[in-house]
């Protein structure tokens, strides 16, 4: 059963659980897109293939809000919002240790190793890197570990995980980036997309989606 957070004629937003792929890959494992397509097909009795536009992703071991387009108009207009960075994305993460600065902005240059499916973060621009920026604030001290609220400025693959690992504070459970801790029975990481703020594809209405922090 998928957890639907919002739906209109052009868009649908759902809450992705830990461990579920957003989009299918070479593993052949079940993915969120297939689940949403199945929901649309059954709910609206649609014959044949169901259109569903992928607008953004969150990592498989993370959880939280994912927005899809139900129509080509929705896909086009929301893609423009993502590209124009008018969509606000907020994440929460539980980090190993406490950052020296309780509030700040991180800017790195990221390069992805597609074979290893890992991202390296550099302080200076290098060939084949992309600039990545986020702002964060420590909102709770969990026995010396930090619960942080993150305002994501750019949406790069593994951005939050790689940037915090680069300053020595891995996301809880993130073995790929060297975390010592476990989270969600070792299947997930303590990273959740908790807020998404955007405008509807038609009518230009504001939509503000928020879910509870699960850790």
DSSP line for 27-73 = T---BHHHHHHHHHHHHTT--SPPP-EE-----TT-EEEEEEESSHH
- Collapsing DSSP to helix, strand or coil, 176 comes out as helix
160: nearest Cα among 199, 205, 106, 209: 106
Structure tokens at 15: 């809450």
How many Cα neighbours within 13 Å face the side chain of 207? 22
Catalytic residues: 59
| Torsion sign across C-alpha atoms 160, 18, 56, 120 | positive
Residues 39 and 11: their CA atoms lie apart, in Å, by 13
């Amino acid at each position: 059963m998928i957890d639907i957070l919002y739906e209109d004629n052009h868009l649908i937003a759902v809450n992705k659980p830990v461990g579920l792929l957003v989009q299918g890959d070479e593993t052949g494992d079940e993915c969120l897109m297939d689940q949403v397509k199945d929901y649309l097909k059954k709910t609206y009795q649609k014959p044949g293939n169901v259109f569903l536009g992928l607008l953004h992703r969150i990592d498989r071991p993370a959880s939280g809000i994912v927005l899809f387009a139900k129509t080509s108009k929705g896909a086009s207009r929301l893609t423009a919002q993502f590209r124009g960075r008018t969509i606000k994305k907020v994440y929460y993460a539980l980090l190993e240790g406490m950052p020296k600065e309780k509030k700040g902005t991180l800017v790195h240059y990221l390069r992805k190793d597609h074979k290893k499916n890992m991202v390296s973060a550099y302080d200076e621009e290098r060939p084949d890197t992309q600039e990545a920026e986020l702002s964060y604030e420590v909102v709770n001290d969990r026995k010396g570990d930090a619960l942080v609220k993150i305002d994501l400025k750019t949406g790069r693959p593994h951005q939050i995980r790689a940037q915090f690992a680069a300053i020595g504070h891995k996301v809880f459970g993130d073995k790929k980036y060297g975390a010592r801790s476990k989270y969600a029975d070792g299947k997930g990481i303590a990273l959740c997309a908790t807020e998404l703020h955007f405008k509807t594809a038609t009518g230009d209405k504001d939509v503000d989606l928020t879910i509870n922090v699960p850790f």
